[in-house]
Chain A
Amino acid sequence: MAAVLPLSQERHRAAPKPALLWILGFAAVASCAVTVGLASVNEELYQPALRVLLVSWITLPFIFGGIVAWRRRPDSAFGPLMILAGFATQLSILQWSDQPFLNTIGQLCDLLVAALWLHVFLAYPSGRLAGRPEQVVVIIGYVAAVGLQVVILLLGGFNDRHLLTVVSKQTAAEAVQNVQLLTLTALALIGVVLLWRRWWSLPRWQRRRPAQIVINCFSLSLVMLAALLIAGAFQLPGFEIIRLATFAVAGLAPIAFLAGLLDARLAKGGVGQLMVQLRADPAPDLRELLAQALRDPTLSLIYWLPQYGSWADQDGNSATLPEPNSGRRVTLVRQNGEQIAALVYDATLGEEPELVEAVSAAAGIALENGRLEAELRARLQELHGSRTRVVEAQQNERRRLERDLHDGAQQRLVALALELGLLAEQANADPATQTRLKRARGEIAESLSELRDLARGLHPAVVSGHGLAVALESLVAAAPLEVELKADELPRLPEQFEVAAYYVVSESLTNAAKHAQASRVSVEVRVADDTLIVEIVDDGIGGADSERGTGLRGLADRVEALNGRLRIWSAPGSGTRVRAEIPCG
């Protein structure tokens, strides 16, 4: 069995080094220990044990969630953002310290956590802020959380343990703080609206359950944050309780996110199911199965056809890869180092590259089969196209020759015959001259007759000029056997159809008279359901063979070049039935 090496076409950002992730993990745990230490020396804390627990409850899921996300999706900034949010929480805890420098850092980071939450939630799931409103909200958030915090600290706000106090203007500091808290409250609530607006703008199939839980948790966290900030601004009595509750809820957000990642991993169960389906059905609708396994109904599957140097769909029609930034992503499937197929899917699925690669690996052999089939179909199409072109070119050339004969040699000969006729009228005396003139006219008449037969064999001008019905009437009238013609109310059709039908009837009548020893023939030509149907039945000896007789083979070519079908029933002793069906709609 050939090795299947599906590789993603797009260059991914390199995964973070494991050592770095380990360091981050240890740092997270260590920072929790620091928190415990700080809590034990600070005597002002409300419910210190619970606070430590809740801080860790937030910090650890954010950091470890961030580590998992970063490792699994190196392309996305979402992981690093989460890690940042986790450590920012820890830094803000430094305000518990009496040491002036650490205290200053802690105070600076106090509300940075709120801004980072906003950033993380709005950047879900790609790590990028999707729209202008999101970007504005996050930027204002950072300015309010850090910029205004610096101003407050310069004005001597909060306490006297930090280093930033320049002037001590408590009233001004409090005013700025209220502006800051109310601004952040508003941003948190706007953030909730933006989250849901984006959620409902997603296509239905993308609004899956895990993502919905994540969005719900994010929203709840932002609402709690808003409540906490309001409580802080108006110094409501339940502030400490609200703070504990907010922390408790906020810790759920990264856990929900991790659950979502786990779900994507679980979706690999679909890979197993895919393999079972592929074994059960040797000729599956591969696109459909892959769409199911990847849970993207918009997925399309195209194959690389090296002979043509182009992409093609399952039916062999040429296809193209999507443009970058078109909202579609591509994963190339390679086999023995050569690309054989490409999965084109919704860009949001690109957040799960491992799943896409697992699915394309599972479908490897089936994909190779699919490619061969697509190639076969492309070749058939090409063959058909070239046959159509050959028949068309042949017909055009024959029509041109017939026309040249008609307008050239035939007209000149008729004019010459006329000239000789006029001469014969005038040269009244000499009988010898009369005889010779007569013989010359006889020669010309013979030549004209031969030319007429030649021209007629080249192209049935009567068909193009006067339609199939008229031409059939002549054909039947000239046939050396009894013919019953049914061609009533036959509409005019494009020339190629009429000419093909004419040849089918003409050739069949010739065969019936020459080879089949038939005495009676019925010819029926009609149009039904946009199909031109020509049927000729004789009472001859049968035994006609479309593969041997070049006449019948040529007819089949002519009919098939028009996407039609020529069938012949000719059992020995029971007559011959020729039926052509040509779509003409």
Chain B
Amino acid sequence: MRVAIAEDSVLLREGVAQLLTDADIEVTARCGTADELLTRVGIDPPDAVIVDIRLPPTHTDEGMRAALTIRRQYPDVGVLVLSQYVEVGLAMQLLADSAEGVGYLLKDRVSEVKEFVAALHRVANGGSALDPTIVSTMLKRHRSSDPLDSLTPREREVLELMATGASNAGIAESMVITQRAAEKYVSTIFTKLGIPATGSESRRVLAVLLFLRA
């Protein structure tokens, strides 16, 4: 796999590059700014980019805009956005019409090396990776006559994993259950929440998010 990085902190940029190299991932570009990233992606499109949301010069939304640009112009390039804080509003913006090949994680997640590399692989292969805090934040909202109340604790757990972009196999592994049991949970949840069952994993990420937001 080939990946480009845009991160203005040298310490972190080199750390992530090291992490990727150790995981046999080729780092095609190490960029300090969004413009540099866009240029390098244009010259040599990687399988995925890792981009910090705050980049020079203003450290406001340069990274976010670069991410959206890459999603529009290079649909085959996976985009994994990293940030010190995750915002539901930004997640919605990033996933505006599709959760395919997109990820949005807290920066802290890089220290969970295995999980991080797995998320990156998912994004590069057209899947999704949403930070668990986004889903848990949205689940905390109390709603009157909420269909979520009808979920069992195990089902809620599955829902959270599903919303982060995990595959059925991934869910099974996390919860230490069989893949068949995981599939059963997923279909029960969809029925209880009244969400039409959708095919791909990234589609169901978006479906769950939209359900939670409504």
A480 within 8 A of B: yes
Find residues 61-79 in chain B having any chain A CB closer than 8 Å to their own CB.
Answer: 61, 64
Q: A406-B54, A456-B85, A519-B144 are in contact. Are A441 and B111 (CB under 8 A)?
A: yes
- Cross-chain contact of B111 among A406, A421, A452, A456 (Cβ < 8 A): A421
Chain B residue numbers with a CB within 8 Å of A414 are: 12, 84, 107-108, 110-111
CB pair A407 B9 closer than 8 Å: yes
Residue B19 interfacial (CB < 8 Å) = yes
State whether the Cβ of B193 lies closer than 8 Å to any Cβ in chain A. Answer: no
The residue from B12, B61, B93, B114 contacting A418, defined by CB atoms under 8 A apart? B12
Nearest-Cβ distance from residue B170 to partner chain A, whole angstroms? 20
B154 at the interface (CB under 8 A from A): no
| B87, chain A: closest CB distance, angstroms | 4
B52 to chain A, nearest CB (A): 10
Shortest Cβ distance from residue A112 to the other chain B in the assembled complex, whole angstroms:
84
Q: Does A571 have its Cβ within 8 Å of any Cβ on chain B? A: no
Question: Is A255's beta carbon under 8 Å from chain B?
Answer: no
Is B88 positioned at the interface, with any CB of A under 8 Å from its CB?
A: yes
Within the assembled complex, what's the spacing in Å between the Cα atoms of A425 and B113? 8
When the two chains form the complex, which single residue of A411, A425, A441, A466 contacts B87, counting CB atoms closer than 8 Å?
A: A466
Taking CB atoms and an 8 Å cut-off, the chain B residues in 1-24 that contact chain A are 9, 11-12, 15-16, 18-19, 22
Binds A, one of B35-43, B135-143, B156-164: B135-143
Distance A412 CA – B87 CA, assembled complex (angstroms):
22
Q: Is B197 an interface residue (CB 8 A)?
A: no
**Is B88 a contact of A418 with CB atoms below 8 Å?**
no
- The interface residues of chain A lying within 8 Å CB-to-CB of B9 are 407, 411, 415
B180 within 8 A of A: no
The yes or no answer to B153 lying at the interface (CB within 8 A) is no
Q: Separation in Å of the A57 CB from the closest CB of chain B? A: 89
Q: How many residues of A contact B (CB 8 A)?
A: 43
Measured CB to CB, the closest approach of chain B to A316, in angstroms, equals 38
CB contact under 8 A between A465 and B64, given known A403-B59, A410-B84, A472-B89? yes
Chain B residues whose C-beta falls within 8 Å of the C-beta of A483 in the assembled complex: 141
Q: Does the CB pair A470–B93 fall under 8 Å?
A: yes
Q: In A442-458, which residues have CB < 8 Å from any B CB?
A: 444-445, 448, 452, 455-456
Report which of A403, A421, A481 forms a contact with B113, defined as CB distance below 8 A. A421
B54 contacts across to A, CB distance below 8 A: 406, 461, 465
Bound complex: CA A60 to CA B158 (Å): 117
Bound-complex Cα distance A434 to B10 (A) = 27
Q: Which residues of B contact A520 (CB under 8 A)?
A: 144
B131-152 at interface with A (beta carbon < 8 Å): 137-138, 140-144
Q: How far is the CA of A461 from the CA of B86 in the complex (A)?
A: 11
Residues of chain A contacted by B140 (CB below 8 angstroms) = 478, 480
CB contacts (< 8 Å) of B19 on chain A: these are 418, 421-422
A523 to chain B, nearest CB (A): 13
Residue of B nearest to A513 (CB): B142
Q: Does B192 contact A (CB under 8 A)?
A: no
Assess the B22–A415 pair: CB atoms within 8 A: no
Residues of B within 8 Å of A369, CB to CB, are none
Contact with B along A221-252 (1 / 0, CB 8 A): 00000000000000000000000000000000
Residue of B nearest to A471 (CB): B89
Contact A482 B213 (CB under 8 A): no
Whether the Cβ atoms of A418 and B89 lie closer than 8 Å is no
Which single member of A407, A419, A425, A519 contacts B15 (CB below 8 Å)?
Answer: A419
The residue that A469 contacts in the complex, of B61, B89, B111, with Cβ under 8 A, is B89
A528: interface (CB < 8 Å): no
Q: Specify which chain B residues have a CB less than 8 angstroms from the CB of A479 in the assembled complex.
A: 141
Are A417 and B108 interface neighbours, CB within 8 A? yes
Please report the C-alpha to C-alpha distance between residue A519 and residue B144 in the assembled complex, in whole angstroms. 8
B111 pairs with A478, CB closer than 8 A: no
Q: How far is the CA of A445 from the CA of B111 in the complex (A)?
A: 9
Chain A contacts of B84 at CB under 8 A? Answer: 406, 410, 414, 452, 455
Q: Which A160-217 residues sit within 8 Å CB-CB of chain B? A: none
B78-110 interface code vs A (CB 8 A; 1 in, 0 out): 000000110111101100000000000001101
**Which A residues are in CB contact (< 8 Å) with B138?**
477
Nearest residue, chain A, Cβ from B12: A415
* B174 contacts partner chain A, Cβ-Cβ < 8 Å: no
A481–B93 Cα distance when bound, in Å, is: 23
A24 lies within 8 A of chain B by Cβ:
no
Q: Please report the C-alpha to C-alpha distance between residue A470 and residue B141 in the assembled complex, in whole angstroms.
A: 18
Asked if A464 and B137 sit within 8 Å, CB to CB, the answer is no
Let me know if B60 is at the binding interface, CB within 8 A: yes
- Within the assembled complex, what's the spacing in Å between the Cα atoms of A300 and B64? 57
Is A372 interfacial (CB 8 A cutoff)? Answer: no
Decide: A425 and B22 in contact? CB cutoff 8 A. yes
Of the candidates B18, B60, B84, the one having the most CB atoms from chain A within 10 angstroms of its own CB is: B84
Which 9 A-B pairs rank lowest in CB-CB distance, beginning with the nearest?
Answer: A473-B89, A417-B111, A470-B89, A477-B88, A421-B111, A465-B60, A474-B87, A474-B89, A418-B15
Q: A414-B107, A466-B93 are in contact. List 20 more A-B contacts (CB 8 A).
A: A407-B9, A410-B107, A414-B111, A417-B108, A418-B16, A419-B15, A420-B111, A421-B111, A421-B113, A422-B15, A455-B84, A461-B54, A464-B60, A465-B64, A466-B87, A470-B90, A478-B141, A482-B142, A482-B143, A483-B141
A-B contacts, 21 listed (Cβ < 8 Å)? A410-B107, A414-B12, A414-B108, A414-B110, A417-B111, A418-B15, A418-B110, A421-B110, A421-B113, A422-B22, A425-B22, A425-B114, A444-B111, A452-B84, A465-B53, A466-B89, A470-B90, A477-B89, A478-B88, A482-B142, A519-B142
A residues near B (Cβ < 8 Å) are: 403, 406-407, 410-412, 414-415, 417-422, 424-425, 441, 444-445, 448, 452, 455-456, 461-462, 464-466, 469-474, 477-483, 519-520
